[in-house]
Amino acid sequence: MGDFYVLYNPLCGNGEGEEDAKMLDVAFPNGKRFFDMTKVTNYAAFLSGMSTDDYLIVAGGDGTLNRFANDTAGLEIQPEILYFPIGTGNDFAREFGKKPYADPFPVTEQLKNLPTVEVEGKTYRFINGVGFGLDGYCCEEGDKLREKSDEKVNYTAIAIKSLLFRFAPRRATVTVDGQRYTYDKVWIAPTMHGKYYGGGMMPAPQQDRGNVEKTLSLMVLHSAGRLRTLCALPGIFNGTHVKHKNMVTIHTGHEIAVEFDCPTPLQIDGETILGVTGYTARSAREERA
Please give the chain's pLDDT, 289 residues, in tens.
Answer: 688 999 999 988 778 899 999 999 887 777 789 999 999 999 999 999 898 899 999 999 999 999 999 999 999 898 999 999 998 889 999 999 999 999 999 999 999 999 999 999 999 999 999 999 998 988 888 888 777 777 777 777 878 888 878 899 999 999 999 999 999 999 999 999 999 998 899 999 999 999 999 999 999 999 999 999 999 999 999 999 999 999 999 999 999 999 999 999 999 998 999 999 999 999 987 554 4
What residues does CATH 3.40.50.10330 cover in the chain?
4-111
What residues does CATH 2.60.200.40 cover in the chain?
116-288
Task: Name residues whose C-beta falls within 8 Å of residue 33's C-beta, 6 or more positions apart in sequence.
Answer: 3, 4, 5, 6
One-letter amino acid identity for 216? Answer: L
Q: Tell me the C-alpha to C-alpha distance, in Å, between residue 85 and each of 9, 78, 99, 197.
A: 11, 22, 8, 14
pTM, rounded to two decimals: 0.92
Is residue 279 within 8 Å of 117, Cβ to Cβ?
yes
pLDDT of residue 173: 98
CA distance 46 to 54: 13
Is residue 65 within 8 Å of 83, Cβ to Cβ?
yes
Question: Tell me: domain 116-288, CATH 2.60.200.40, correct?
Answer: yes
DSSP alpha helix (H) spans, the chain:
12-15, 17-21, 24-27, 43-48, 62-71, 91-95, 134-148, 155-161, 226-232, 284-288
CA distance 124 to 107: 19
pLDDT of residue 289: 44
Is residue 58 within 8 Å of 64, Cβ to Cβ?
yes
Task: Give the DSSP H/E element, type plus range, for residue 182.
Answer: strand 179-186
pLDDT of residue 1: 66
CA distance 253 to 283: 8
Q: How many CA atoms lie within 13 A of 53 on its CB side?
A: 4
Question: Tell me: domain 4-111, CATH 3.40.50.10330, correct?
Answer: yes
